[in-house]
Chains A and B, each alone.
Chain A
């Protein structure tokens, strides 16, 4: 029996490509909620879990009869900023609509969102692919609209408890075009979007607290076909890695369905990160009729071109600009510059450290972080039982200075990092305590080299007869004799001088 997909016959050898569109809910970092004066995010130092259930719930959040929404101007400013940072056209007039569904975490029976005329449309962001990040692909952003978050239900045995602290928290929903073709591209898109919204300060970027949540629309088609297959929507995944894995799973699942002669259904699926699989939540047939209509309580949002231009003029440096600056000013490799401009913890650590040392140390800092620093952290992550002190930007700054003024060798610097990471402490103190100060003192090194030359006449002969490779042997021996503390450049220079002389 021959199988077809989108009018093309397919078999196990057919190459399929994924078609992926992402909808990301970004929590805007305002103090109060989008339509009420209730607290939107915990006071600094607190986490969402610390907040008493329903403490941040006013009559407006709870949808009490007679309450009305009043829009938070900061949320609007942040949404415009996000639109401008992603090349969107800002609609000077946009409309709030009611989206109806009955659910206990939806206090009014409808969510206020934007439907027909969103605040931002037709933007894009560039993702970097390839081993060195050398391939740039532009992904279209269909729209960015403002909306309110829902509450949260805690499901217990036989009943549920509704907490409305999150109800009414301001969100933007960033909807991409279905232009990603692999889980890797989807991951790159999410990381770039995350880098942007955190760089421009509109989102706190706390993934654990749901500041940045992703729904993925996934379909597949035989390569070369331009029609779209039946898509499924994977809901609410809040880690970049899990989005990639969920899409990976979903692509393969859809391929299996097609190759086994089955039919794909348009449906919503959930991802179980522990089992690494997606499962069906509801199909399109039992989807709600949302009955969108313009909210009569909220007249159109009208912005002046001057206001939009003022926001544009005040836009901070964007990740792509930062990447280019790192490459230009610190001579970073493109991939490293991408990594450190992405709004990650490392990116912030890098910026803080550069601020402490000055930009001359940028390259050294980047090398310390991306090489040894990241290795230590990922090692620690795979061994969660180990107790680690972690890094501070001051440690990196001090260490970079020590490397740059040759107080320690790069090799020794790695040892310092490992100790600092595990035990904490001042970099200078660690260097002294561990005796890692680099020997750059001629009077200390010369006798060592002279002794090695005296002990190895054979190798001296080889060198002098033109086998310059032997040089490494002498340097290595000298390094060993100084327990790695010798300044390698100086050492090499001295060895050559002694051998020639």
Chain B
């Protein structure tokens, strides 16, 4: 039998010891998934996964003498969950939308392909907010995902299926995507590690676009080391994505190992506390947990420096203008002509406009709202006042960070002002929902890496995540700090 909630390293040790193997492990996950009521998965790729697992089990004996080839295949036999916004050749990919309820893509996302080449097994496609638009995972055409431990609460969104699956042991690790906090918020709510790398680190090829200049794939895992390993496998230039960076990929697993073993690693680290992130309205228990974590960092030798990010109050406005504008454009391709669903009524439409309207009635309410907002912000006469203006404020926000990072190495804050809220609590008020992302949005706008690491629980037992933000391409700083925080401060 397998140990619940094992890390990649523990699983590899069990393979080496012969106490488990890729096939047995994969089968056990499918049993758990089928028994679970979290609604975390939209589609299972059981046959495919079992085939992969069987081959990996066989090769482990025949090719690798029973020892996991960790260097060449860092994810050998590791069962993963894939957010349903990422395409997989031949596997239904819905983006949690009726628009794509039967869509089977003809190619695999670069990130997923790289994981599978490294030995990972894809268990299935994880539930999410439709087109990744949401903060609670209540906007799925396949129904809401339940919080891993508190079924009356939301797991956070939009990668809610990923957060719940990792926390509820329905996979070893998962892929999420983050446009304004969609990895970090559910990681915080579900009590797992979530990393949004620098924009451009991981190819977006095969990620169904929400907001192209903000979208970024990242891991959601149970340990910091697992996040490091997944990120390393996925990162790096991709000829299919013009926005990937040619920055060299680092061995982040080794960075984590080193930080874990060196208690002096944070000595001299300058930790910035942005005053704008410690506002009224933060839940007292959240505040206490974060403050305790900051004390812990100090005890490890870090110095704490107050900083200011003066444009933070404009973050949500800036983000919503940019994200919805890009979304309105990205979602124009859903017209029921070359792929996707086409309601019967569409073929009887008397005009082309009617045809499109029939097809596009398959979008959910939140998606429609954002498309309309975006269309408005880009339309003639409003472009300068909205889109262009927001892009300018975005630059100012990025400059805020650059200024702050002249005096600090990492910024810390809560991921969210509250812990996981109740299903339906904010569903009626879009603006309140948007404000949930207030702390995660600025890093998305600046394109810089950020992370959520569990640092405690409230009285209800709901997880509290600490938010770490670093300069561009400084994922290693995030991982070092997270390694020290992991399991120590709660």
Contacts and interface: CB of A to CB of B under 8 A. Distances in A.
A65 B212 contact: no
Interface residues of A, number: 32
B56 to A, nearest CB: 26
Contacts of A107: 333, 337-338
Interface in A164-216: 164
A102 interface: yes
B335 A109 contact: yes
B378 A65 contact: no
Contacts of A291: 328-329, 375, 378-380, 383
Contact of A65 (B209, B211, B352): B209
Contacts of B338: 62-64, 107, 162, 164
Interface stretch (B156-164, B239-247, B284-292): B239-247
Contact of B105 (A65, A109, A290, A292): A65
A107 B204 CA distance: 20
Chain B CB count within 10 A is highest, among A103, A109, A110, A298, for A109
B95 A65 contact: yes
B242 A71 contact: yes
B240 A68 contact: yes
A104 B375 CA distance: 19
B42 interface: no
Interface string B347-375: 00000110010000000000000000001
Given A291-B380, A293-B387, A296-B213, A110 B329 contact: yes
B453 interface: no
A66 B208 contact: yes
B437 interface: no
A107 B336 CA distance: 10
Contacts of A164: 338
B231 interface: no
Which of A62, A65, A109, A162 has the most C-beta atoms of chain B within 10 angstroms of its own C-beta?
Answer: A65
Contact of B333 (A63, A297, A299): A63
Contacts of B241: 68, 70
B226 interface: no
B100 A293 contact: no
B339 interface: yes
Contacts of B208: 65-66
B107 interface: yes
Interface of A is mostly: loop
Given A100-B329, A299-B242, A289 B352 contact: no
A71 B241 CA distance: 10
Interface of B is mostly: loop
Contacts of A104: 335, 337, 352
Nearest to A297: B212
Contacts of A256: none
Contacts of B353: 102
A262 interface: no
Given A62-B338, A293-B378, A70 B240 contact: yes
B178 interface: no
B42 to A, nearest CB: 15
B253 to A, nearest CB: 28
A65 B242 contact: no
A296 B326 contact: yes
Contacts, number: 105
Contacts of A103: 352
A59 B332 contact: no
A66 B332 contact: no
A108 B332 contact: yes
A105 B21 CA distance: 51
A71 B86 CA distance: 23
A109 B335 CA distance: 8
Contacts of A296: 211-213, 243, 326
Contact of A67 (B205, B213, B329): B205
A66 B378 contact: no
Interface string A285-316: 00001111101111100000000000000000
A416 B180 CA distance: 79
A98 interface: yes
A109 B240 contact: no
Given A59-B106, A293-B325, A296-B326, A102 B240 contact: no
B106 A64 contact: yes
B51 to A, nearest CB: 24
Interface in B82-111: 86-87, 93, 95, 100, 103, 105-107, 109
B335 to A, nearest CB: 7
B203 to A, nearest CB: 9
B200 to A, nearest CB: 10
Contacts of B211: 296
Given A64-B339, A68-B242, A293 B383 contact: yes
Contacts of B95: 65
B329 A102 contact: no
Interface in A434-465: none
Nearest to B131: A65
Contacts of A293: 325, 329, 378, 383, 387
Contacts of B221: none
B205 A68 contact: yes
B207 interface: yes
B339 A110 contact: no
Interface string A40-78: 000000000000000000010011111111110000000
Contacts of A102: 332, 335, 352-353, 356
Nearest to B325: A293
Interface string B273-294: 0000000000000000000000
Interface in A106-131: 107-110
B242 A298 contact: yes
A386 B354 CA distance: 51
Given A289-B380, A291-B378, A66 B207 contact: yes
A296 B241 CA distance: 11
B206 interface: yes
Interface string B377-389: 0111001000100
Given A109-B333, A297-B243, A299-B242, A68 B107 contact: no
Contacts of B109: 66
Central interface residue in A68, A70, A98, by most chain B CB within 10 Å: A68
Contacts of A298: 242
Interface in B282-339: 325-326, 328-329, 331-335, 337-339
A216 B382 CA distance: 30
Contacts of B204: 68
Interface in B184-212: 204-209, 211-212
A109 B337 CA distance: 11
A139 B103 CA distance: 51
A291 B384 CA distance: 11
B484 to A, nearest CB: 36
B242 A70 contact: yes
Contact of B379 (A67, A71, A289, A299): A289
B347 to A, nearest CB: 8
Interface in B223-245: 239-243
Contacts of A71: 242
Contacts of A110: 329, 332
A298 B329 CA distance: 14
Contacts of B207: 66
B132 to A, nearest CB: 12
A170 to B, nearest CB: 16
Given A109-B335, A289-B380, A66 B243 contact: no
Interface of A: 59, 62-71, 98, 100, 102-104, 107-110, 162, 164, 289-293, 295-299
25 contacts: A64-B105, A64-B339, A65-B333, A65-B334, A65-B339, A66-B86, A66-B105, A67-B107, A68-B205, A68-B243, A71-B242, A103-B352, A104-B335, A107-B333, A108-B332, A108-B333, A291-B328, A291-B375, A291-B380, A292-B378, A293-B329, A296-B211, A296-B212, A296-B326, A297-B209
Which 6 pairs from chain A and chain B are nearest by CB? A109-B332, A296-B213, A296-B212, A291-B378, A65-B208, A66-B206
